[in-house]
Amino acid sequence: MDTFNKKKNRIKYLNMSSLITLNNIHLQYQNGSQITEVIKGVSLDIKNQETLAIVGKSGSGKTSLIMLMAGLEKTSSGSIIFQKKTISQMTENELSHYRQKNIGIIFQSFYLIPNYTALENVALSLEIDFQPNSLELAKDLLIKLGLGHRLEHYPSQLSGGEQQRVAIARAVINKPSIILADEPTGNLDDQNSLLISQTLFDVVKSHGSSLCLVTHDKELAQRCDRQIIIQDGQLI
């Protein structure tokens, strides 16, 4: 990225309001007397409608950060603030509401429900929230993602790229505040990786969501407004 674009992105970043803030986060696992520290004092601020790439090797702590921000892991110390609310202080019901309303997660391995069709997998997020017209809304989104001919197909009948597009639709159908994407192109070939990355950025832009993208793909990371590097559980 040239100097002009770096300066432009810096000004854009400074003018954005904060969405989620990590303050000196630590994550430890204990097995008997052995303690393994996975995240070591990470502080990070993600802005509204920002696209952020967290880049690092396998085992560097990238996925752990995603799980912490999603409220699927609890910090050992430090705090995560989402729109002035501390995630660690939320009740289970509040956490469930937080994830349902504000978080969309895309995994490398898709995690679609095998005995649900593509349409049912996407509509389920709306049905859990008792939203009307869930099937119609899911159908419209899948058609926009080029899967109108695959609505009644099960995950086993879809290609890897098609499954990931279904997973993207499922993640964004509720128009969450932030999409957390964990190696979304990691299991795909080059052609499908390009298609999925374009789809992801298009959908995030159209929904006005923030994107936190975890990847080891430098080309994919460069599409984001900002990149940070994690190594051995620390930002460098």
How far apart, in whole angstroms, are the C-alpha atoms of residue 155 and residue 160?
A: 9
How far apart, in whole angstroms, are the C-alpha atoms of residue 202 and residue 120?
A: 23
212 pLDDT above the threshold of 90:
yes
CA dist list (Å): 215 to 14, 107, 142: 24, 11, 25
Q: What is the pLDDT of residues 227-236, one digit of tens each?
A: 999 999 999 8
Q: What is the pLDDT of residues 48-91, one digit of tens each?
A: 999 999 999 888 999 999 999 999 999 999 999 998 899 989 99
> 234: which strand partners?
231
Residue 99's nearest CA partner among 125, 121, 137, 138 is 125
Contact 165, 147 (CB under 8 A): yes
How far apart, in whole angstroms, are the C-alpha atoms of residue 58 and residue 70?
A: 20
> 215: which strand partners?
55
How far apart, in whole angstroms, are the C-alpha atoms of residue 36 and residue 27?
A: 9
Amino acid at 123: A
pTM, two decimal places: 0.87
Amino acid 195: pLDDT:
86
Map out the domains of the chain with their CATH numbers: 3-235 (3.40.50.300)
How far apart, in whole angstroms, are the C-alpha atoms of residue 163 and residue 177?
A: 23
Amino acid 187: pLDDT:
81
How far apart, in whole angstroms, are the C-alpha atoms of residue 233 and residue 64?
A: 9
Strands 51-55 and 210-215: parallel
